[in-house]
Amino acid sequence: MRAVEVWDDAQEVAEVLRQNLLRAEPVVRLQVPLSVILSAVDNFNRDELLLLRRRIEERLAV
């Protein structure tokens, strides 16, 4: 195996571990008025909105 292949494999393993850590993270429910959430979303830039969309799609897929 070449060094570049070892590095790529290590990066893939690290990403899988990061994903697993995020899934294992405890969840805390917050009582936040919907208007506060919508107001925050109105102030997100395009990249933040795309990230939010991806996260929501992941949640809906569960």
> Each residue of 3-38: pLDDT tens digit?
878 788 888 888 887 777 777 667 667 788 888 888
Q: Indicate the pLDDT class of residue 48, thresholds 50, 70 and 90.
A: very high
DSSP letter (8 states) at residue 6: H
pLDDT greater at residue 61 or residue 18: 61
Number of domains in the chain: 1
**What's the pTM value of the predicted model, to 2 decimals?**
0.49
For residues 29 and 45, what is the distance between their CA atoms, to the nearest angstrom?
Answer: 25
For residues 1 and 31, what is the distance between their CA atoms, to the nearest angstrom?
Answer: 52
Q: Can you give the residue range of the structural domain that contains 18? A: 3-61
Q: What is the mean pLDDT of residues 32-50?
A: 90
